[in-house]
C-alpha cells in the first residue's frame, strides 16, 4: 500500500499562524434580551434614557427644602408640618413649601419644591394635637408634624435623574460579554434586543473503523473503543463560545468520509475531525483535503499532537486533530480553542481570582462584612492594582464596571494603598481591561474607545478624572476646560468641540446668547460641577459680569437652573427635548444628533493625559496608535 509520510513538521508558532490565516468568523445577529446571556456585543450601546428617569429618594424619611433644616440638631430640631406622603411608583400630588415636609418611601419620586430628604432615623414624628418632647407648640388638630434632628444640604439622600446611567452615555462597548450584570444594566435601559456576535458553527466529525458511539454495543475483541472525541470536543467548542454540530461517525472509507466532510463544510465555518491524520496507509483524510481543498499543515513539532492537519475544505476552515483523546484535547485547547474564542469575541480564559494591591486607600465600615466591587488595572511596573468601583447600592453600573469583589472583614477599618488583597472574579472568563480611562464624557472619545481591544472608561467628569489620575489609578484621563492645579501627566492627544446652549429645533424663545439667560425668565439645565463644560460656562458668566461691571455671583443667581446640573453630556439636551427647560448646556454634536438647535458660546479643548509611568503599557500604546490615526485629533 502507498503510505503518505509527514511533510516537514512546522513549529507551534507556524501552526498557530496557519490556523489564524483561515480567518474564522461568523458575522452578527440580533437576539432578544432574554436570550442574550453569555453572548458578545457586536456594537456599542448608548443609553437612550436617564436611569433613574426622575429624582428619587434614596431611603425612607421626609422630603423637604434643605434650607428649612439648616442649624437643626438633636438639641434644637427643626419642626416642619407634614403635608402629605409619596410612595414608590406613585406620582406625587403634593408640593413642598416653606416649613413643610412630605413623608417619602425609598425609591419614590421627589415631590416638587423638595431638594433634599432626611432619613427617618434622624426625625421624630409628632401626632396631631400633641406636644413634642423638645417643648415645641402643640401640633394643629388636623396636621401632623415632624422634628428634624439634623441638617441636610441640597441633594442629600437623593439620587438625581441620570445619576446611575445618563441618557446618551456609553453604556456598553463592542466586545462586552453579556453576563447577568450587563443584562441587568440593559434591562434598566429598556433594551429589548441586542446586536451580538454570531457564534461560529463548528462541525465535528470522528473517523476510524474502531470507533463506536456511546450507547451502542462495544466488541473489544475487534479492537473497538467508544468515541470519546465527538463529545469532548463538542463540549470544548461550546465552552470556547462556538456552536457545536456533531455529524454521524464515519469509518475510514474515503467516499463516505468525503461526503460527511463536504456536508459539514457547507454548513459550518470550521470543520474539526479527529483520527485518520497519521501516515498510515488506511488514513485517507489528507487526500480528501488535498483533492477538495487546500492542505496547509501536515504535522506539528509538538508532543502530544504531532499528526495535526490544517487546511481549507471548500469555503470552510479545517483542522484535523489526532485520534487519541488526550492528544486531541491538548491540541484543541492549545491551537483551536483560542481561535474559536477569538471568532466568538470571547476573552482569553482567566483564573477565578486575582491577587493585587490596593491602588488607593479605601475606608470601610467596621462591624459589617463588605463586598466591595473592584476593578483591576496594570500599573507602571506590571503589578496588578485594585481600585474600588462603587456608586452606591442603587447603581447598576457599580457591577458592570467591576471585575470582581474584594471581601472586607467586619473588623477592618480601611484598606491602605499598597495593601495586598484578593479579588474574587465574577467568573473565570473575566479579563482585566487593557486600558482604564476616566474623565469627561465625549462622543469623539467614545468613537476612539470603540477601536480599542478591551477598554474600560468611567465618565466621572474632568475634576474627578484629574484627581484619580493624581492618585495613580487610571492609565489616562480625558479632561475639558482649564486644568486648575498642575498634574504630573503626559499629554497624548487633544481636539476641540464647540460648546453652547442646546435649544429646541424651532426655538420659540429665540435665545441668542448668554445674556438671554441672565435677562429673561428662561430655564437652564446645567451640567454638574465635575464637568468641564460647567467650568467653561462659569468662566463665560464671569467674563459677562466683568463687561457689565457686576459680580459673577449676581449673574449666577439671575440664571434659573445654574446651580443644579446633570451628569452626562446629552442629559441637559434631552431635558430640553422633553419640554422641561428652555436651554441646556451641551455641545454642537449633541444638538445635531438629536435634531435640535444650537447657540454657540465658544470652543473648548478636550485633552487626553496619560500616566507617564504607563506609556509603555500595551493598552496605552494601542490608544496612542488610535489617536495618531484619527484625523480629528492633534497628537502631542
Per-residue three-class SS string for 180-201:
HHHHHHHHHCCCCEEEEECCCE
Take residue 190 and report the three cell numbers written for it.
429598556
For residues 466 and 204, what is the distance between their CA atoms, to the nearest angstrom?
A: 53
For residues 260 and 265, what is the distance between their CA atoms, to the nearest angstrom?
A: 9
Q: Is the dihedral of CA 169, 172, 173, 174 positive or negative?
A: negative
Take residue 66 and report the three cell numbers written for it.
434643605
For 62-111, give the secondary structure using H, E and C.
Answer: EEECHHHHCCCCCCCCEEEEEEEEECCCCCCCCCCCCCEEEEECCCCECC
Take residue 467 and report the three cell numbers written for it.
484627581
Task: Count Cβ atoms below 10 Å from residue 109 Cβ, excluding itself.
Answer: 21
Domains and CATH numbers, the chain: 12-26+199-344 (3.40.980.10), 28-52+163-197 (3.90.105.10), 56-159 (2.170.190.11), 353-425 (2.40.340.10), 439-636 (3.40.190.290)
* pTM, two decimal places: 0.65
Measured distance between the N- and C-terminal CA atoms of the chain, rounded to whole angstroms? 69
Question: What's the average model confidence in pLDDT over 156-174?
Answer: 89
What percent of the chain stands above pLDDT 70? 88
| Alpha-carbon dihedral 467, 471, 473, 477, rounded to 10 degrees | 30
- Residue among 459, 606, 480, 465 at smallest CA distance from 536: 480
* 73 Rama class: left (phi>0) / alpha (psi -120 to 50) / beta: beta
Is residue 343 within 8 Å of 200, Cβ to Cβ? Answer: yes
The pair phi, psi for residue 400, each rounded to 5°, is -65, -25
Q: How confident is the model at residue 425 (pLDDT cuts 50, 70, 90)?
A: confident
* Grid cell 441620570 in the structure block, residue: 162
For residues 101 and 115, what is the distance between their CA atoms, to the nearest angstrom?
A: 11
CA-to-CA separations, 302 to 12, 31, 233, 507, 567, in angstroms, rounded: 7, 41, 19, 72, 56
Examine the pLDDT at 538 and tell me if it is beyond 90. yes
- Residue among 236, 244, 300, 296 at smallest CA distance from 270: 244
Q: Which residue has the higher pLDDT, 559 or 315?
A: 559
Is residue 566 within 8 Å of 528, Cβ to Cβ? Answer: yes
Query: Which residues, at least 6 apart from 80, have a Cβ–Cβ distance to it below 8 Å?
Result: 62, 64, 68, 99, 100, 101, 145, 146, 148
Question: What's the average model confidence in pLDDT over 481-506?
Answer: 88
Q: How confident is the model at residue 2 (pLDDT cuts 50, 70, 90)?
A: very low
Question: What's the average model confidence in pLDDT over 215-228?
Answer: 63
Residue 10's pLDDT is: 81
Is residue 314 within 8 Å of 292, Cβ to Cβ? Answer: yes
Residue 135's pLDDT is: 46
- Residue among 245, 241, 244, 268 at smallest CA distance from 175: 241
DSSP state of 380: T
Task: Count Cβ atoms below 10 Å from residue 350 Cβ, excluding itself.
Answer: 16
Residue 591's pLDDT is: 96
| Alpha-carbon dihedral 526, 528, 530, 534, rounded to 10 degrees | 10
Examine the pLDDT at 324 and tell me if it is beyond 80. no
Residue 350's pLDDT is: 62
Q: How confident is the model at residue 66 (pLDDT cuts 50, 70, 90)?
A: very high
Residue 222's pLDDT is: 62
- Residue among 205, 208, 230 at smallest CA distance from 280: 208
Q: How confident is the model at residue 417 (pLDDT cuts 50, 70, 90)?
A: very high
For 347-361, give the secondary structure using H, E and C.
Answer: CCCCCCEEEEEECCC
Residue 15's pLDDT is: 86
For residues 339 and 19, what is the distance between their CA atoms, to the nearest angstrom?
A: 8
Examine the pLDDT at 320 and tell me if it is beyond 70. yes
Q: How confident is the model at residue 622 (pLDDT cuts 50, 70, 90)?
A: very high
Give the pairing type, strands 61-64 and 56-57.
unpaired
Question: What's the average model confidence in pLDDT over 86-96?
Answer: 95
CA-to-CA separations, 362 to 126, 134, 377, 460, 610, in angstroms, rounded: 40, 39, 16, 18, 23
For residues 387 and 375, what is the distance between their CA atoms, to the nearest angstrom?
A: 5
Helix or strand (DSSP H, E) at 337: helix 337-344
Q: Which residue has the higher pLDDT, 227 or 82?
A: 82
Give the E-state strand segments of 259-383 in sequence order: 270-274, 293-298, 309-313, 316-321, 353-358, 362-363, 370-378
Q: How far is CA 236 from the centre of its chain?
A: 28
Task: Count Cβ atoms below 10 Å from residue 414 Cβ, excluding itself.
Answer: 14
Examine the pLDDT at 210 and tell me if it is beyond 50. yes
Residue 86's pLDDT is: 96
Query: Which residues, at least 6 apart from 291, have a Cβ–Cβ distance to it below 8 Å?
Result: none
Strand partners for 497: 604
Strand partners for 194: 31
Residue 280's pLDDT is: 45
Helix or strand (DSSP H, E) at 467: helix 462-471
Q: How confident is the model at residue 61 (pLDDT cuts 50, 70, 90)?
A: very high
For residues 551 and 210, what is the distance between their CA atoms, to the nearest angstrom?
A: 93
Q: How far is CA 551 from the centre of its chain?
A: 43
Residue 601's pLDDT is: 96
pLDDT tens, residue by residue, 477-490: 999 977 666 778 99
Computed over every residue of the chain, the mean pLDDT equals 86
Q: How confident is the model at residue 276 (pLDDT cuts 50, 70, 90)?
A: low
pLDDT tens, residue by residue, 377-401: 999 888 999 999 876 544 556 667 8
- Residue among 409, 343, 347 at smallest CA distance from 376: 347
Task: Count Cβ atoms below 10 Å from residue 134 Cβ, excluding itself.
Answer: 14
Residue 216's pLDDT is: 65
For residues 14 and 327, what is the distance between their CA atoms, to the nearest angstrom?
A: 19
Residue 140's pLDDT is: 46
* Grid cell 462591624 in the structure block, residue: 367
Worst-scoring range by mean pLDDT, 48-57, 131-140, 257-266? 131-140
Take residue 398 and report the three cell numbers written for it.
457599580
Question: What's the average model confidence in pLDDT over 355-377?
Answer: 84
pLDDT tens, residue by residue, 98-148: 999 999 999 999 999 999 999 999 999 898 766 554 444 444 445 789 999
Residue 432's pLDDT is: 85
- Residue among 597, 482, 609, 479 at smallest CA distance from 538: 482
Residue 281's pLDDT is: 33
Take residue 609 and report the three cell numbers written for it.
493625559
Task: Count Cβ atoms below 10 Å from residue 595 Cβ, excluding itself.
Answer: 9
- Residue among 384, 383, 375 at smallest CA distance from 404: 375
Out of 34-48, 331-345, 386-400, 614-628, the most confident range is 614-628
Kindly provide the b/e burial profile for residues 547-566, where b requires at least 16 CB atoms within 10 angstroms of the residue's own CB.
eeeeeeeebbeebebbeebb
Residue 271's pLDDT is: 94
Take residue 397 and report the three cell numbers written for it.
453600573
Amino acid at each position: 500500500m502507498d503510505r503518505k509520510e509527514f511533510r516537514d513538521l512546522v513549529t507551534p508558532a507556524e501552526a498557530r499562524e496557519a490556523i489564524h490565516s483561515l480567518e474564522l468568523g461568523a458575522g452578527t445577529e440580533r437576539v432578544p434580551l432574554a436570550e442574550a446571556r453569555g453572548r458578545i456585543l457586536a456594537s456599542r450601546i448608548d443609553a437612550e434614557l436617564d436611569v433613574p428617569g426622575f429624582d428619587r429618594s434614596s431611603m425612607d424619611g421626609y422630603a423637604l427644602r434643605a434650607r428649612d433644616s439648616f442649624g437643626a440638631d438633636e438639641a434644637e430640631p427643626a419642626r416642619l408640618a407634614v403635608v402629605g406622603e409619596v410612595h414608590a411608583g406613585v406620582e406625587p400630588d403634593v408640593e413642598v413649601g416653606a416649613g413643610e415636609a412630605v413623608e417619602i418611601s425609598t425609591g419614590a419620586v421627589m415631590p416638587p419644591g423638595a431638594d433634599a430628604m432626611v432619613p427617618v432615623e434622624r426625625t421624630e414624628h409628632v401626632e396631631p394635637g400633641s406636644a413634642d418632647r423638645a417643648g415645641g407648640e402643640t401640633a394643629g388638630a388636623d396636621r401632623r408634624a415632624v422634628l428634624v434632628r439634623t441638617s441636610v444640604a441640597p441633594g442629600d439622600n437623593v439620587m438625581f435623574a441620570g445619576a446611575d446611567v445618563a441618557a446618551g452615555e456609553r453604556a456598553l462597548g463592542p466586545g462586552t460579554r453579556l453576563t447577568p450584570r450587563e443584562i441587568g444594566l440593559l434591562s434598566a435601559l429598556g433594551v429589548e434586543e441586542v446586536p451580538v456576535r454570531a457564534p461560529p458553527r463548528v462541525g465535528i466529525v470522528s473517523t476510524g473503523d474502531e470507533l463506536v458511539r456511546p450507547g451502542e454495543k462495544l466488541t473489544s475483541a475487534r479492537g473497538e473503543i467508544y468515541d470519546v472525541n465527538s463529545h469532548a470536543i463538542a463540549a470544548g467548542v461550546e465552552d470556547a463560545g462556538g456552536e457545536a454540530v456533531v455529524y454521524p461517525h464515519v469509518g475510514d472509507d474515503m467516499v463516505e468520509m468525503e461526503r460527511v466532510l463536504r456536508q459539514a463544510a457547507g454548513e459550518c465555518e470550521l470543520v474539526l475531525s479527529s483520527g485518520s491524520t497519521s501516515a498510515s496507509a488506511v488514513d485517507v483524510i489528507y487526500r480528501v483535503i488535498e483533492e477538495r481543498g487546500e492542505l496547509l499543515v501536515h504535522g506539528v513539532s509538538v508532543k502530544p499532537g504531532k499528526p495535526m492537519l490544517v487546511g481549507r475544505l471548500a469555503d470552510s476552515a479545517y483542522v484535523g486533530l489526532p485520534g487519541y483523546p488526550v492528544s486531541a484535547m491538548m491540541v484543541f485547547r492549545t491551537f483551536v480553542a483560542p481561535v474559536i474564542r477569538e471568532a466568538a469575541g470571547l476573552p482569553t480564559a482567566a483564573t477565578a481570582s486575582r491577587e493585587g494591591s490596593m491602588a488607593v486607600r479605601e475606608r470601610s465600615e467596621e462591624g459589617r462584612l463588605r463586598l466591595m466591587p473592584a476593578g483591576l488595572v496594570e500599573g507602571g511596573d506590571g503589578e496588578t492594582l485594585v481600585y474600588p468601583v462603587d456608586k452606591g447600592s442603587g447603581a447598576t453600573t457599580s457591577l458592570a464596571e467591576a471585575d470582581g469583589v474584594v471581601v472586607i472583614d467586619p473588623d477592618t477599618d480601611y484598606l491602605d494603598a499598597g495593601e495586598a488583597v484578593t479579588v474574587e472574579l465574577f467568573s473565570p472568563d473575566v479579563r482585566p481591561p487593557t486600558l482604564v480611562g476616566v474623565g469627561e464624557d465625549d462622543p469623539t472619545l467614545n468613537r476612539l474607545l470603540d477601536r480599542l481591544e478591551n477598554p474600560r472608561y468611567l465618565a466621572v467628569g474632568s475634576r474627578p478624572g484629574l484627581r484619580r489620575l493624581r492618585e495613580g489609578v487610571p492609565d489616562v484621563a480625558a479632561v475639558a476646560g482649564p486644568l486648575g492645579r498642575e498634574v504630573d501627566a503626559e499629554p497624548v492627544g487633544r481636539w476641540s468641540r464647540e460648546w453652547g446652549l442646546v435649544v429646541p429645533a424651532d426655538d420659540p424663545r429665540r435665545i441668542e446668547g448668554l445674556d438671554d439667560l441672565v435677562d429673561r425668565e428662561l430655564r437652564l439645565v446645567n451640567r454638574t460641577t465635575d464637568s468641564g463644560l460647567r467650568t467653561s460656562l462659569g468662566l463665560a458668566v464671569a467674563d459677562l459680569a466683568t463687561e457689565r461691571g457686576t459680580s459673577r455671583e449676581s449673574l449666577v443667581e439671575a440664571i434659573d437652573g445654574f446651580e443644579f446640573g446633570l451628569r452626562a453630556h446629552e442629559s441637559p439636551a434631552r431635558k430640553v427635548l422633553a419640554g422641561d427647560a428652555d436651554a441646556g448646556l451641551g455641545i454642537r454634536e449633541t444638538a445635531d444628533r438629536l435634531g435640535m438647535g444650537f447657540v454657540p458660546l465658544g470652543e473648548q479643548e478636550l485633552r487626553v493625559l496619560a500616566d507617564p509611568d504607563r506609556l509603555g503599557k500595551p493598552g496605552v500604546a494601542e490608544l496612542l496608535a488610535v489617536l495618531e490615526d484619527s484625523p480629528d485629533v492633534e497628537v502631542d
